[in-house]
Amino acid sequence: MFRTRFAPSPTGYIHIGNVRSAIYPYLIAKQSDGKFILRIEDTDQKRYTAGATELIVETLRWLGLNWDEGIEVGGPNAPYFQSERKELYQKYALDLIKKGRAYPDPTPPETIDEYRKSDSAKKIPYLYRNHRPEESNLPPEEILKIWHEGVPLRFKSEPKNYEWHDEVMGDLKTGPEVCDDIILIKKDGLPTYNFAHIVDDYEMRITHVVRGVEYLSSMPNYLALYEALEIDHPKFVSLPHVLAEQGNKKLSKRDGAKSAVDYKNDGVLPEAMLNYLTCLGWNDGTEQEIYTKDELIEKFSISRIQNSSARFNETKLLWQNGMWIRKIFDEDGCDALYERTTSFWPETADSYSDDYRKQVLSIIYDRLKVLGDLKTMTEYFFASPNIDLDFLTSNKFLKKFSEQELADLLRISVDRLQKIPEENWNPDKIQNALNELFTETGTKPAELFSLIRIATSFAPFSPALHLTAHVLGRENFLSRLNSTRSALINDEN
């Protein structure tokens, strides 16, 4: 059974590049009927951000990445906050001391900074093991007597060559020059990430560690710790960076990368986000672009993860989201999509019935990129638009007409459309009437349709005119045509 984990630090929102590091281990676990674990690595108290854990939980639940063990759901390896596992790390730290592989380090930060500057001036790599304090030479029994909280504990490295296999990056190796005496337990008594994650992954029986390639440089120190603790290491799955849209920089919060929650609030569907981020650096070797979660679980494979960076493309994400909006409507029906739209309608829609809003959704859905577009795209269905004659007369299809000519065309249109009785006001009858108007007015479809569309909506675009007219209703539609006509006449005079 595969056991994977997502182990974020609660230092703020998780941007979409981070989210991919949750999706891949989830898919790996589910594909093998394994377990996906959510652990919070909160030992860096200086960077802790209130509410960050809640945002992590909200993001994962929104995407449907439900975890089998971890915070909120519990499990056999509780607690799942690292700050609550202090005694466990102390146990492993004492084991390293007894083996002669850890020592207390009372060296003040100022002195360590001087070591760095000195090595830099000498143009040699800074390695703390070249500046070990006298305490590093004490026998284990003496260290056990003097080490206490308030004094950092360091790993006593034994530099050597390391070779290992990464499931994405292949066979890797490094020399002894990268091995160092890393801190295991900080001054505050809490472990560093470098130490805690190794202990936790072993205790939680993690089979695959999925994380960014930025951790590769630390792998020799991790492998040294596995050896010193005499425990087997899991398989490593290193994910190349997700790059920002512009340039070759890694996507990051510092550079304004949006959080998954921001996209959720914009009206991106979780299916689309899951679909897009999974395929950002992975493909199954086909031309398929739209995948359900079940399809991703079935088809995902570590061997198809790309070993080069992928560039985030918001345009592609929004395109896929539009495809998912249409997929839900076409396959599951209007009601299924309508349930997703609750918080995205304009305020003016509040007084209208669900049935009316569903009618609007049914003719606008295929134009939506995000559900948030409903606020701007549907306003005129719920409130009469402000008449803007400059907007009307500047339309490229209407520039050749005078205001009087446009008013005359609207009068003829009203006369023809009002011949349709209320009981026959349906899309087919409306379309037939519009078609007859071409002959009657001698205009082209682009001209007449643009005039009537703008006169009733004053929006940059709208759904098919006969559908818009039907949803707005006979009296409302004709009233708007007459109001615009009157405005044109008054302006002309």
Catalytic residue ranges: 253
Residue in the block written with tokens 């209208």: 352
Neighbours of 78 (CB within 10 A): 13
What does each C-alpha distance from 271 to 7, 85, 235, 242, 284 come to in angstroms? 22, 35, 29, 20, 18
Cβ partners under 8 Å of residue 346, min gap 6:
374, 375, 376, 378, 379, 382, 383
Sign of the torsion angle spanned by Cα atoms 167, 171, 176, 178:
negative
Neighbours of 349 (CB within 10 A): 20
Residue in the block written with tokens 């499931």: 167
The whole-angstrom separation of Cα 275 and Cα 289 is 8
By the 8 A CB rule, do 364 and 472 touch? no
Residue in the block written with tokens 């730290």: 93
The whole-angstrom separation of Cα 13 and Cα 63 is 15
The whole-angstrom separation of Cα 114 and Cα 112 is 5
Length, in residues, of the chain = 493
The whole-angstrom separation of Cα 271 and Cα 273 is 6
Nearest one of 306, 324, 322 to 242, comparing CA atoms: 306
The whole-angstrom separation of Cα 156 and Cα 417 is 88
The whole-angstrom separation of Cα 195 and Cα 155 is 9
Per residue in 176-208, is it b (16+ CB within 10 Å) or e — as a string? eebbbbbbbbbeebbbbebbbbbbbbbebebbb
Which residue type is seen at 467? Answer: L
What does each C-alpha distance from 324 to 21, 58, 331, 463 come to in angstroms? 23, 21, 10, 19
Q: What's the number of CA atoms in the CB half-sphere (13 Å) around residue 275?
A: 21
Query: 310-311 and 242-243 as β-strands: parallel, antiparallel, unpaired?
Result: parallel
The whole-angstrom separation of Cα 455 and Cα 452 is 5
Intra-chain end-to-end CA distance of the chain, in Å: 82
- Whether residue 139 is preceded by a cis peptide bond, meaning omega within 30 degrees of 0, is no
